[in-house]
Structure 1
Amino acid sequence: MDGATKRVSEYIRHKGFNLSDISRKTHIPYMALYDSLFNEKRNRDLRVDEFLILCNHLGVNPIIFSDDQRKAV
């Protein structure tokens, strides 16, 4: 899992968002979200379009999940 995918996963877990709800509202298949964010047996990174759709849905700037932004904080 790449750094941005891992940080999105941590953010979603920390905030207590429901993956089924996110899937329905974003039209990203549930299994794609699950395999990228929660399934430790799979090494699936979020695709760029999925990442951007998720950030939009969560109401966050995608830059907060970058390595450079985390180092600056």
Structure 2
Amino acid sequence: MDGATKQISEYIRKKGFNLSEISRKTGVPYMALYDSLSNDKRDRDLRVDEFLALCKHLEIDPMEFYPADKVG
């Protein structure tokens, strides 16, 4: 799992968001969210459009999940 996927996964778990609800509101398929964010047996990174849809729904800047050591 890449850094951004792992970080947004932790954020969603910490805040207690429901993946089914997020799926309905973002249009991102539930299984894509589950496999990327919750399924420890599957190492699936979020696709860019999925990641951005999540950030928009969560009303959070995508750069919040960008590793600080990579900022120019």
Fold shared by both chains (TM-score > 0.5) = yes
- How do residues 1-73 of structure 1 correspond to structure 2 at under 5 angstroms? 1-68=1-68
Structure 1 length normalisation: TM-score? 0.92
Per-residue CA shift, 1:19-39, capped at 9, x if unaligned? 000000001000000000000
Indicate the larger mover: 42-51 or 60-69. 60-69
Deviation at 1:8, TM superposition (A): 0.3
Structure 2 gaps, min length 5: none
Structure 1 spans left out of the alignment, 5+ residues? none
- Under a length normalisation based on structure 2, what TM-score does the superposition of the two structures give? 0.93
How many correspondences in the alignment?
Answer: 70
Where has structure 1 moved over 3 Å in runs of 4 or more? none
